[in-house]
Structure 1
Amino acid sequence: MMKAKLSLVTLGVRDLERARRFYRDGLGWTLAPGSNDHIAFFEVGERLLLSLFGWEALAEDAQLPAAGEGFRGFTLAHNVTSPERVDEVLAAAVAAGARLVKAGQPTHWGGYSGYFADPEGALWEVAHNPYMDLS
C-alpha cells in the first residue's frame, strides 16, 4: 500500500527564470535549499514543496510527449480566512504578473473563491472555505 502523503508538486514551466521571479519576487516566496539553474523549490507547507522544472525536461523525465496546452486537468489551491482576503490575494497575484481567470465570487458550496493563472498558465484557486479551520 502507498501511504496517503503529498511531498512535492512539480510544475513544468516553459520559462524557468520567469516562473522563479513570479513566485520569489512577485509573491514573496523564499527559495528552498536545492534550488539551482535547472529547478526551483519553494516550501509551501510542512514538509511540502512546490517545484518548478523545465517543461521539456519534465516531460522527458516522465517519458511523455511535451505537447499540450490549455486546461491541464488540475488546479492548485490557496485557502484564506475571509472573502476579503481572497480578493486581496487575487489582486496581489495580478500585480505580480498573474492573469485573473475568475474574480472572487460566492460558490455553490457556501464559500467564496476566484482563480488566477501564473505566468506559465498554472491555475491557482484562492478560496475562503467557512468549513475549514485555518488556525
Structure 2
Amino acid sequence: MATTTSTAADTSLASVTLEVADLEAAHRFYSAFGVYTYIRLREVPEAHSTGFRGFTLALTVSGPATVDAFVAAAVDAGATVPKPPPAKSLWGYGGVVQAPDGTFWKIATSAKKDNGPATREIDEVVLLLGVEDVKATKQFYVDRGLTVAKSFGGKYAEFAPGQSSPVKLALYKRRGLAKDLGVPADGTGSHRVVLSGTADAFTDLDGFTWETAASPAPTAP
C-alpha cells in the first residue's frame, strides 16, 4: 500500500510580506509607525484589491498610553482611523488604524490603567487571517505541521510561533474580524499579504499564499 509523505514537520512561519503600490512611501510610514522590523515590503503596483483584504496585524502593548502613542504615530504618518478612537472594553483597551497601503493594524492591551508612561515597546505581533471556517483551516495548517497554541472552538485559533519569525499566526472568522475592525466584510482581489515558510509554496483554503522562506522578499533600503 502506498503511503503519503508529509512535509508537515518542516512547516513554520518565517516572515510576513505586505505587497504595496509605493515601496518608498510604505517604508516611510512603517518606520514612523514603529513596526518596520516586524514585516517585509514588496512593491507590486498591479496587485488590485478593494475593500477588506481579509487580514489584520495586531500589536499587544503594555498599557493604554502606549496604545494611544502608536495610534497617534500612525495617524501622524498618514493612517486613518476606521472606527471610534481607542477605548476601554471588557477585555482591556485598544484601537484600530488603516495604513496608507490599506493594511489594518489593531493596537491593544489587556490593561485598563497605565502603570507607567507610554513606551514604544511591542510585546507581541499577531497576523490574524480572516477565514470562512476556523476549524477546517486550523486542521489544514495542523496537517502542514503547525502546532496549535490556543483554540476556542470555531471562533479563534492561534499557532505556536516559529523560531525565526517575530510574528504569530492566528485564525479568526472573516466577518467577525471585519466587525472588530469596524469595516464591511466585503472585499475582492489580492489579499496583499504573503507568508513565507520553511515548506514548499502553497495556498490555503481562503486564498492566502505562502512561499518558501528562501524566496526573495525585497524591502526598502
Q: TM-score range by the shorter chain?
A: 0.5 to 0.7
CA deviation map 1:39-90 (0-9, x unaligned): xxx432xxxxx11112347xxxxxxxx3321110000011111122211210
RMSD over aligned Cα atoms:
2.3
With structure 1 as the length reference, what TM-score do the two structures score?
0.66
Q: Which residue of 2 aligns with 1:27?
A: 33
Task: In structure 1, list runs of 5 or more residues that go unmatched.
Answer: 30-41, 45-49, 58-65
Aligned length: 105
Which runs of 4 or more aligned residues in structure 1 lie more than 6 Å from their structure 2 counterparts after TM superposition?
none
Distance 1:90 1:70 in 2: 21
Match of 1:113 among 94, 100, 116: 94
1:106 positional shift: 2.3
With structure 2 as the length reference, what TM-score do the two structures score?
0.42
Is 1:17 the counterpart of 2:32 in the alignment? no
Pick the structure with greater CA Rg: 2
Match of 2:104 among 111, 114, 123: 123
User: Is the contact between residue 33 and residue 70 of structure 2 (CA under 8 Å) also seen in structure 1?
Assistant: no
* Distance 1:28-1:82 versus aligned 2 partners, 3 A rule: closer
The 5-angstrom pairing of residues 1-135 of structure 1 reads: 1-2=8-9, 5-24=12-31, 26-28=32-34, 42-44=36-38, 50-56=39-45, 66-102=47-83, 103-108=85-90, 110-130=91-111, 134=123
* Distance 1:14-1:28 versus aligned 2 partners, 3 A rule: same
Percent of pairs with identical residues: 40
Secondary structure in 1 aligned to 2:17? strand
Secondary structure in 1 aligned to 2:13? coil
Distance 2:11 2:89 in 1: 28
* Distance 1:56-1:107 versus aligned 2 partners, 3 A rule: same
